[in-house]
């Protein structure tokens, strides 16, 4: 410990005291390489800021600008769990202050990262874009298929419970579809991509379910594609335990259909909120690998 800080960890702050930020706070408590120091919000009465105070974290209720003016040294990494429009402004402010931004919004800012696909390529990025919940769940499957045979078209349908779609999610639906579609091509490797989101009002609430459709070039090797998908699913389950296949992949000629389900860990959110859980779990996974890289470099120097 030096000056009150654990020098074997990177300091982190959460920007956004809503459901996503609060769930992220719960997950970061046990991180071996990240030390959560603060939560930043704009609603002093939010449950997130209240819970952060109760757990001994510093809290800021006047937004990122106040945090950067009052206590910039409290964080090396800042998780942005606000909105796409807000992140455009936040990204600029964090860059100017030399902070690493982990972007949990669908803003098309920063390096697109899916842990199971390209994490090691962006460990030094100043802004890491986690795309969307649908992207984190489905783009790895497109990529897994593409490792066996080129994908000419990839389409994903993400169905989530209306109850797990808060104001931020609803306000970002256009950004969700655009950013996810771009990620299907950029990260998934499909020549064309399309993303659809469905808010299901069913009671009791349904868990997140995702459908992946892919058209491949030429005849698909069913066993090789199934094996590649299974390997990817196993890796994702290492940091999102509730991620699973609902059935074996269906392969018919050059058409591949994959059906997924994501159950939340229940750290703060209900188990049906797998759409939010996969984002916070992916954010922790990415930030921990970034921290390990930075800390190992610091130890050598």
**Amino acid 3: pLDDT:** 36
Lowest mean pLDDT among 107-111, 153-157, 166-170, 188-192: 166-170
Q: Which entry of 14, 77, 86, 133 is annotated as an active-site residue?
A: 133
| 202 lies in the same domain as 231 | yes
Question: Do 171 and 260 lie in a common domain?
Answer: yes
| Whole-number pLDDT of residue 1 | 35
pLDDT reading at 4 higher than 70: no
In a domain, 223, yes or no: yes
According to the annotation, is 102 in a ligand binding site? Answer: no
Task: State yes or no: 71 annotated in a binding site.
Answer: no
Beta-strand relationship, 208-216 and 151-161: antiparallel
User: pLDDT tier at 298 (50, 70, 90 boundaries)?
Assistant: confident
Is position 1 within any domain? no
Same-domain status, 283 and 268: no
Tell me whether residue 133 is one of the annotated catalytic residues: yes
Question: Can you give the pLDDT at residue 227?
Answer: 98
Residue 249 domain-assigned (yes or no): yes
Tens digit of each residue's pLDDT (9 = 90 or more) over 121-177? 999 999 999 999 999 999 999 999 999 999 999 999 999 999 998 777 888 899 999
- Is 172 marked as a binding-site residue? yes
- pLDDT for residue 64 is more than 70: yes
Q: Are residues 144 and 240 in the same domain?
A: yes
Instruction: Please indicate if the annotation marks 165 as binding a ligand.
Output: yes
What's the CATH code of the domain at 70?
Answer: 3.40.50.720
Same domain? 118 vs 139: no
Distances (CA, A) of 135 to 105, 143, 147: 12, 11, 18
Is 42 within a domain? Answer: yes
Segment 266-289 mean pLDDT: 97
Please, what is the average pLDDT of the chain?
A: 95
| Cα distance between residue 119 and residue 129, in whole Å | 11
Whether residue 4 lies inside any domain: the answer is no
Owning domain of residue 113: 10-130+278-300
The model's confidence at residue 6, banded by pLDDT at 50, 70 and 90, is low
Residues 38 and 88 in one domain: yes
User: What is the reported pLDDT for 300?
Assistant: 78
Q: Specify whether the backbone of 45 is left (phi greater than 0), alpha (psi in -120 to 50) or beta.
A: alpha
**Using one digit for the tens of pLDDT, what is the confidence trace for 216-255?**
998 889 999 999 999 999 999 999 999 999 999 999 999 9
> 45 and 124 share a domain?
yes
- Range 18-38 average pLDDT: 97
Number of independent structural domains in the chain: 2
Tell me which residue of 37, 24, 17, 16 sits closest to 265, measured CA to CA. 24
**219 neighbors 254 (Cβ within 8 angstroms):** yes
- 293 annotated among ligand-binding-site residues: no
170 is in an annotated binding site: yes
Token duo for residue 63:
């937004």
Give the pLDDT confidence of 260-276 residue by residue, as tens digits.
Answer: 999 999 999 999 999 99
Q: Is residue 3 part of a domain?
A: no
> Per the annotation, does 167 bind a ligand?
yes
106 and 124 fall within a common domain: yes
Same-domain pairing of 125 and 166: no
- For residues 168 and 268, state if they share a domain: yes
Residues 20 and 123 in one domain: yes
171 annotated ligand-binding residue: yes
Domain-located, residue 48: yes
């Amino acid at each position: 410990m030096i000056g009150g800080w654990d020098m074997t960890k990177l300091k982190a702050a959460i920007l956004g005291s809503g459901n996503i930020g609060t769930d992220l706070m719960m997950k970061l408590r046990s991180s071996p390489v990240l030390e959560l120091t603060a939560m930043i919000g704009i609603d002093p009465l939010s449950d997130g800021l209240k819970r952060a105070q109760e757990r001994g974290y510093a809290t800021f209720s006047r937004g990122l600008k106040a945090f950067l003016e009052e206590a910039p040294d409290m964080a090396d990494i800042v998780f942005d769990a606000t909105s796409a429009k807000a992140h455009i402004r936040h990204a600029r402010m964090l860059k100017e202050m030399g902070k690493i931004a982990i972007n949990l919004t669908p803003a098309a800012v920063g390096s697109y990262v899916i842990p199971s696909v390209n994490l090691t390529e962006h460990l030094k990025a100043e802004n890491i874009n986690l795309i969307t919940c649908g992207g984190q769940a489905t783009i790895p499957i497109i990529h897994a298929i593409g490792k066996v045979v080129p994908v000419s078209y990839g389409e994903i349908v993400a169905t989530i419970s209306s109850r797990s779609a808060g104001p931020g999610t609803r306000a970002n639906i256009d950004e969700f579809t655009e950013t996810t579609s771009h990620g299907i091509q950029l990260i998934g490797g499909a020549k064309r991509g399309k993303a659809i989101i469905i808010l299901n009002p069913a009671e009791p609430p349904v868990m997140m379910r995702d459908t992946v459709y892919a058209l491949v070039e030429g005849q698909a090797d069913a066993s090789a594609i199934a094996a590649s998908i299974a390997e990817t699913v196993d890796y994702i389950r290492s940091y999102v335990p509730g991620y699973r296949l609902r059935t074996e992949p269906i392969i018919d000629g050059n058409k591949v259909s994959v059906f997924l389900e994501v159950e939340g860990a229940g750290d703060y959110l209900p188990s049906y909120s797998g759409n939010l859980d996969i984002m916070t779990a992916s954010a922790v996974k990415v930030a921990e690998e970034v921290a390990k890289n930075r800390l190992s470099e610091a130890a050598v120097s």
